[in-house]
Homo-oligomer: A and B are copies of this chain.
């Protein structure tokens, strides 16, 4: 039985972690933290999320000093703002706590790229260098288990990489044609905040952050190639649908493409299907569904995830399960 804390528990990803751990029989969820000046502190998580009532009724504690966690827990999930993760993670890892970071603080290895994308200088380059970027279907298990600093991929990067990596790893793409990723996210991706742009009456399908979104360099680094990445806000609560246009090398066959995607044959959370995937098939579920079509040397790949699950919390627990050697799916369908 492992003791676990969630920092930033009042956000949407935090709440999903609470739900998952309520069904995970190897974990004792000991503490939920919010920032010390949060209005939510001292409330129960189930006061914020009525759906959790009876399943997780822990109180949201204000966190002043991460050191208070030392000796208390084996692992900490950071569902926090990038800067908070950046500041807190070193304290925790230094004392032997495994950190599962859902923020972007440890996803980009180039310090200049990081600074431009996140708006502040990274102060812990050594910890950053030791961090393992854990897309679970591709992560090196040995390296994963050798670190305390686990960086989870972003939501868009998860959908993008799961769709593109089989093709790139198999050398099937003509990368002179820069792949384009057009992805639509549900509003929960913007977090649980009172903002006019998230207000019900203001939400309507539109592109945003074109050429400027911080997930672009993350995708580019981990795919090893430049991409045009265009995120959109859609008028639904949960999920990401990504449509990717790419060019195949000359004479690539359907058989070769099929074989490339067979990399997922023994991966329980990636479902490659005939035809194109549908967002609702993965909403509230930890899967990534993938479909594709090809013609005239071009390929269109579509992938769907629940941004809060395969794109955040379920993936974090999937990695946690792999890290500690539990069944990869434990808790994920609870």
The answer to whether B210 touches A54 (Cβ under 8 A) is no
Partner pick for A207 among B195, B202, B203, B300, CB 8 A cutoff: B300
In the bound complex, what is the Cα–Cα distance between A230 and B181 (angstroms)?
12
Indicate whether A276 reaches chain B with its CB closer than 8 angstroms: yes
Q: Count residues on chain A whose CB falls below 8 Å from chain B CBs.
A: 73
Chain B residues near A298: list those with CB within 8 A: 178, 211, 228
Copies in the complex: 4
Residue interface mask A159-198, B partner, CB < 8 A = 1: 0000000000000000001101010101110001111101
- Smallest beta-carbon distance A6→chain B, Å: 19
The segment from A114-122, A139-147, A282-290 that touches chain B is A282-290
Residue of A207, A247, A282 most packed against chain B (CB within 10 A): A207
Interface residues of A in 274-333 (CB under 8 A from B): 276-285, 287, 289, 291, 293-296, 298, 300, 302, 304, 333
Partner pick for A245 among B180, B280, B294, B302, CB 8 A cutoff: B180
In the bound complex, what is the Cα–Cα distance between A20 and B226 (angstroms)?
43
The 6 closest A-B pairs by CB, nearest first: A204-B280, A50-B281, A180-B245, A187-B200, A211-B295, A210-B293
Task: Pull 5 A–B residue pairs with CB atoms less than 8 Å apart, ordered by A.
Answer: A23-B333, A193-B196, A198-B199, A206-B241, A211-B296
